[in-house]
Amino acid sequence: MLKSRLVDGKKVDRSLAGLSRLGLSPNAWTALALAVAFGGFLALWDHRLLLGFLLFLLSGALDMVDGAVARATGRTSAAGAFLDGVLDRYVEALLILGLLFYLGPETWFLIPIGAWIGILIFGAVMTSFVRAYADHRGLVEDQEVLAKKMGGLLERAERLILIYAGMIIALLFGNDWLVGAIVLAAVLSNLTAVQRIFLAIKYGRRG
């Protein structure tokens, strides 16, 4: 998991804990991140790539605040963690759909961009679903295995980094680079879902 390797959660919490003085609840920070992401979606819909990129970056920063505030104020809860995870998926969907409006209906790599977006969304959904369903059905009961050993090629953090990189390069060299990033993310997301299926069966048999 790229996020767990590169991000020191304790340092992030210490740097963001002061925001708890603003009085917003953790769930309010989560909702604010979603609202900013919706602004990013509207910017992409309006073909304003740089503004959309910056708003989605801000949304990602705000997404880190809710957990830090919850831990700083002793208000962590299963419901809050659930809401945070669910809204993370809505933010990602807004990003991907915004890119669909930004790029338009043209055909890239022999397939309409809308089809590539659909493939990417399906891969992103299945990547999360496979792990959750393995847990739900009791196939993999070890929570450490679910959290640390069923990552795969391209998790959400890597997927977003790849798309953001495509947006940055597109600002400099044209949209072909952004489309390439979307195509690569679509392919790798679906390969990750397949990889997790095999991992679930592998660890399920061990149990």
Could you report the per-residue pLDDT of 95-105, keeping only the tens digit for each? 999 999 999 88
**Length of the chain measured in residues:** 207
Q: What is the mean pLDDT of residues 103-130?
A: 90
Catalytic residue among 46, 66, 88, 142: 88
Q: What is the mean pLDDT of residues 33-56?
A: 97
Can you tell me whether residue 172 is helix, strand or coil? Answer: helix
| The one-letter amino acid at 92 | E
Asked whether the beta carbons of 186 and 119 are under 8 A apart, the reply is: yes
Q: Examine the pLDDT at 151 and tell me if it is beyond 50.
A: yes
Q: Which of these ranges, 6-15, 23-32, 158-167, 187-196, has the smallest mean pLDDT?
A: 6-15
How many Cβ atoms are within 10 Å of 206's Cβ, its own excluded?
Answer: 9
Confidence class for position 51, pLDDT limits 50, 70, 90: very high
Asked whether the beta carbons of 181 and 165 are under 8 A apart, the reply is: yes
**Alpha carbon 141 to chain centroid, angstroms:** 24
Averaged confidence pLDDT in the chain: 86
Q: What is the mean pLDDT of residues 67-91?
A: 82
Q: Examine the pLDDT at 2 and tell me if it is beyond 60.
A: no
Q: What is the mean pLDDT of residues 34-49?
A: 97
| 88 is known as an active-site residue | yes
Q: Examine the pLDDT at 198 and tell me if it is beyond 60.
A: yes
The CA-based angle 178-180-182, given to 5 degrees, is 70
Give the integer Cα–Cα distance in Å for 200 and 59: 32
Report residue 2 as tokens.
């790229």
Report residue 89 as tokens.
């998926």
Count of alpha carbons within 13 angstroms of residue 178, beta-carbon side:
23
What integer pLDDT is reported at residue 84 of this predicted model? 87
Confidence class for position 162, pLDDT limits 50, 70, 90: very high
Q: Examine the pLDDT at 118 and tell me if it is beyond 90.
A: yes
